Structure 1
């Protein structure tokens, strides 16, 4: 590509009042309005009136800014350019939105959590966010935390956690199916030095409640890593009617169970550098899996013990710590084990291992959030940052709903892709016969998807 005019032939001026840079916010925020974002916030949020007047409009403004790419309070100024005032009402100044967030207390954040859960349910009623799983499949609920790095000493709750990075700890629960991309069911911001399982049992209960509220049929399977292998978290999932698949720590009880697995029970699996033998119909792989019956939390009273299966994956230890002198007489392995309550007839050993490893999908959600609204936590006040996290989650789910309505590749696209191709679309506002008309770029590559989103968001409500 080359500039078609000489430098002297081009002049610029910021003086066009009828241009907008994010025309895609129009159908997206129409979808948010139809899903009750403003009404739910006004009904459930009770921030003091001196700062919390028009709370529904202010939360909607925060969500809109985040959908368009804002990752700080100052970035909310993008809602106040060009002709945005002709398309939207109450485009608040960043200072107003900052003061609103700083008025939050812990109770207000929990109220906003309730808004987020109900908002997700309403979005799910208008867009196919979570397709019903096929017979024998699950709705996967993944739980994990991540550290959001912060700088400066004025951030309440900041500290050094397990990653060695100074920040705040965000705990998330996502839901996905084999046909659907992840959405976020529940969220919680914690101190940076908080242990991973802190509050996880409550979050799991909230997440499964939100899943039921969204009307997604099918069995739920809660997946988590070893940090969440504890009775409170597992019991919360089972009490809500879900199955669990949780990585275990190699404590003495687990090591004894692994040692009891007979050598003929190991099965090679499709894994890194695996090769499929067409003649034998099997995988030639250095990774193998096996399982053994196992009772979790056997040291607790009998009513709190959980029976299930211990599924173990082993790979050769290519760098064993051998003492000086004679080497080992046989191969040694590294073992990775997880505990699951799913019966073997519903999920075999190999399938259970592959299903559990897919828990890593939640890492993509963490990366997606940190590439948008969670690039920063904008306030020095912990409650304000907690509210910012909830707004970021609502923006994530709203963008995901917009992508599913646009269909095609956008149904499973990252929110950054949805933002770049469907939301941040420049337009010029024109008026004709008392009707606002958006003049969009000719030959926009994703015109069909945008028009499908626009049509779906502006469709009249369906009759009950």
Structure 2
């Protein structure tokens, strides 16, 4: 057997000059500039500035968002940016960053949200001008018309005593935040930090998160584009669906697709569904899914139950052979099939398409999983108000990653999860040189993604700038 080659011997020293790490993270910092986010944050937090020579609070907030997008988990991780002034400029101390987060709590939170909305409008305009429109949300290998908003909650465990952390329904201790993501672009439109004991199907919280998400959408899209709002059974409350329907009176073309709990009246409707009502369900790629069927049971549901939903609501049910280890209730066990029911007020479209469109809501779980590695999986402060600001900056970091992919990347990297982006692009090492009145970021020619990183910087320089 041929032995593998040995690694070259090395000697580590600390006298390197002009060498920087996390070179790709500069893309995120520059995106905050060219979308106007940095200026908007500065305006929103202008009242926190103590002296002209001090750090701009808006710039400090942007640096925290960039650090979070780059994979940082604590304020102390700002040292990665601060230790490379030739790449990131002057970065505030940890103490200054804490003061900014504390000062932004409360009334400053609304300003940060408004700043994000203004920057999003610019980013979307840049996308339209350079690449011809937003991506479509896909279901069954078909595009979904308009925008698709996915709402879901998740448990964030706290490993120490923090204000408003509490016992969760999963018998853990921490928080139970609620989020809304835009499926078309993976942007994090809104998030609501809640105590661990907050209910899953709280109507008021769902309305708050949805309204904050809609406020993030630029006016031409909010009022001129179909908007589908998806949620699991937690979002299937009568009050929330009535609110979604009421948005039409404000000029928004909204509709819903939400899970429905299988109560006794729903079980009765499923039981009376004839064999001829069932048709094959589809896979995510549009092919027929073996062992899964769907049917519409609207006309079989108790009219008194249906009257609680907005007019035109349809009830659809999916059944499939349970996977090994699936947890079934007594109804499913007797029928030897697993059932799921959802409600929608979309009047047209095949049952197969409507069902696979609803099932695509599961992608929000991937968004939340990635988000927990992008800031909101660990809240740094004991104070609830500071953690709400941290959450807003985490959502900003997720947006910066989304804009990076929307505006600057192609191919596989344009669809990659944050972990892959960090490993391949953001954490790339490079060398900074100066000459002919220019500063050059020299990426190693042997780096497998050097061309993609250089191309991203080229596209960044060519982006149209907002008029100030």
Give me the CA root mean square deviation: 3.2
1:173 aligns with 2:183: no
After TM superposition, where is structure 1 displaced by more than 6 Å over at least 4 residues in a row?
A: 133-136, 294-304, 317-323
Preserved contact between residue 429 and residue 437 of structure 1 (Cα < 8 Å): yes
The match for 2:244 is 237
Aligned pairs for 1:343-382 within 5 A: 343=347, 345=348, 347-382=349-384
The match for 2:156 is 148
The match for 2:39 is 39
Match of 1:263 among 275, 297, 305: 275
Moved more, 300-309 or 415-424: 300-309
Preserved contact between residue 46 and residue 58 of structure 2 (Cα < 8 Å): no
The match for 2:88 is 88
Distance 2:290 2:146 in 1: 28
The DSSP-based 3-state class of the residue aligned with 2:405 is: helix
The match for 1:340 is 344
The DSSP-based 3-state class of the residue aligned with 2:421 is: helix
Distance 1:262 1:201 in 2: 37
Match of 2:414 among 407, 411, 415: 411
Aligned pairs for 1:100-249 within 5 A: 100-127=100-127, 130-131=134-135, 137-153=145-161, 155-177=162-184, 181-198=185-202, 199-213=205-219, 215=221, 218-238=225-245, 239=247, 240-249=252-261
Moved more, 235-244 or 300-309: 300-309
Q: CA deviation at 1:424?
A: 1.1
Match of 2:320 among 315, 323, 346: 315
Distance 1:257 1:212 in 2: 42
TM-score by length of structure 2 reads 0.84
The DSSP-based 3-state class of the residue aligned with 2:193 is: strand
More helix by share: 2
Q: CA deviation at 1:123?
A: 2.0
The DSSP-based 3-state class of the residue aligned with 2:382 is: coil
Q: CA deviation at 1:31?
A: 1.7
The match for 2:298 is 293
C-alpha offsets along residues 172-212 of structure 1, whole Å, 9 cap, x if unaligned? 111123xxx42212112111111124311121122233234
Distance 2:47 2:244 in 1: 32
Preserved contact between residue 124 and residue 130 of structure 1 (Cα < 8 Å): yes
Q: CA deviation at 1:3?
A: 4.8
The match for 2:429 is 426
Distance 1:5 1:66 in 2: 35
Q: CA deviation at 1:307?
A: 2.8
For structure 1, which runs of at least 5 residues remain unmatched after alignment?
A: 277-282
Distance 1:321 1:80 in 2: 55
The DSSP-based 3-state class of the residue aligned with 1:152 is: coil
The DSSP-based 3-state class of the residue aligned with 2:108 is: helix
Q: CA deviation at 1:18?
A: 2.0
The match for 1:384 is 386
The match for 1:70 is 72
Alpha carbons of structure 1 residues 191 and 322: separation in structure 2 relative to 1, 3 Å: closer
Count how many residue pairs are aligned between Structure 1 and Structure 2. 439
Distance 1:171 1:463 in 2: 32
